[in-house]
Amino acid sequence: MTISIAHLGPAGTNAETAAVAFANKLSQLGQKSLLCPYPSIAQTLWAVSQGQTNLAVVPVENSIEGSVTITLDTLWQLNTLQIQTALVLPISHGLISLAASFEEIKTVYSHPQALAQCQGWLEKFLPQVQQIPTSSTTEALQHLGNEASAAAIASERAAQLYQLPILIHPINDYPDNCTRFWVLQKGTTEPEKSALQVIIKSINKPENSIFTSLGFSVPANVPGALVKPLQVFAKREINMSRIESRPTKRLLGDYLFFIDIEADNNHNYVKAAIEELKSYTDILKIFGSYTIMAIN
């Protein structure tokens, strides 16, 4: 079986780097895989949800810029995907240009998150330059051929893939810059898909912490409506490693909550907590229990 993996393309994006690293782990187990680039994160998730691919690799959160909200919103809507594992990728940005020196650069292209992550550096070294957002760091590189006065911010790997010169690297303002990705599969009990779960589990080290991700809505405008769900975990001393609110898209001030707990949903005390949680939430969705892998 060849495992097909959807990711945000084209080649050279950080999502593709994460997917390649995951495919290498599968290869070490003798598993073949095939990378399938999609033009947006939403389309990447739809692809696995509709059975076009076996897995999807999507960014969830960056240590500087925070949540990738399209991932959370799409996961909530699709209702069918389960997280199999998480990957943590260190992120660094370089300034890529055919210009001979900084003085020649008039415009810098990159994804808005990458521009934001280099804002301090740009203000210090290229204060007069126009910053232009693109849909991916890779797309930014496409402008370099047309404009000698253009630069792009992208990874070293992207510069190498497209054989473009790196003027300076790294230029990100915060050195501890990482992005967390989720590897997702359509939730199912079919034997072939269960076999895939066994393969993914065997990559993970058993000593790693297990996390469970869930999402819920609470009754509107009830004082303390969010406190009761959180107490369910606090009183059992279950650590909540993350909470994120997202608008329900109905009314301003009406939210969904996404939380990660450091616990395995296959254990009885966690099952009991989630059972209790049902009485304090309107809609509750469990997105899976998984471990986190560091990749380089």
Distance between CA 240 and CA 105 in Å, rounded?
Answer: 46
Out of 24, 69, 77, 202, the residue judged to bind its own copies by CB under 8 A: 69
> At residue 136, what is the residue type?
S
77 binds its own copies (CB under 8 A): no
Nearer to its own copies, 165 or 247 (CB): 247
Collapsing DSSP to helix, strand or coil, 197 comes out as helix
Please name which of 220, 209, 215 lies closest in space to residue 277, comparing C-alpha atoms: 215
145 binds its own copies (CB under 8 A): no
Q: How many CB atoms lie within 10 A of CB 135?
A: 13
The beta strands (E) that lie in 98-173 are given as 107-110, 130-133, 150-154, 166-168
Q: HSE of 197 in the Cβ direction (CA atoms, 13 Å)?
A: 17
Out of 247, 272, 278, 282, the residue judged to bind its own copies by CB under 8 A: 247
252 binds its own copies (CB under 8 A): yes
Out of 51, 66, 165, 219, the residue judged to bind its own copies by CB under 8 A: 66
221 binds its own copies (CB under 8 A): yes
Shortest reach from residue 30's CB to its own copies, in Å: 31
Total binding residues toward its own copies, as defined by CB under 8 A: 50
Which residue do the tokens 């203000």 mark?
123
Out of 251, 268, 279, 296, the residue judged to bind its own copies by CB under 8 A: 251
Integer angstrom CA distances of residue 66 from 50, 69, 96, 221, 254: 28, 9, 25, 26, 20
65 binds its own copies (CB under 8 A): yes
Distance between CA 116 and CA 105 in Å, rounded?
Answer: 18
Shortest reach from residue 143's CB to its own copies, in Å: 12
Please name which of 68, 56, 73, 32 lies closest in space to residue 246, comparing C-alpha atoms: 73
Collapsing DSSP to helix, strand or coil, 89 comes out as strand
Integer angstrom CA distances of residue 199 from 25, 30, 135, 245, 253: 10, 10, 33, 33, 42
Out of 242, 264, 284, 286, the residue judged to bind its own copies by CB under 8 A: 242
Distance between CA 30 and CA 33 in Å, rounded?
Answer: 10
241 binds its own copies (CB under 8 A): yes
Nearer to its own copies, 39 or 165 (CB): 39
For the segment 156-195, give every residue that binds its own copies (CB under 8 A): 174, 176, 178, 180
Q: How many CB atoms lie within 10 A of CB 260?
A: 22
Out of 146, 237, 268, 296, the residue judged to bind its own copies by CB under 8 A: 237
Out of 62, 138, 185, 291, the residue judged to bind its own copies by CB under 8 A: 62
Nearer to its own copies, 81 or 261 (CB): 261
21 binds its own copies (CB under 8 A): no
User: Which residues of this chain interact with its own copies, rule CB under 8 A?
Assistant: 42, 61-66, 69-70, 88, 112, 116, 119, 131-135, 174, 176, 178, 180, 221-224, 226-227, 230-231, 233-235, 237-247, 249-253, 255
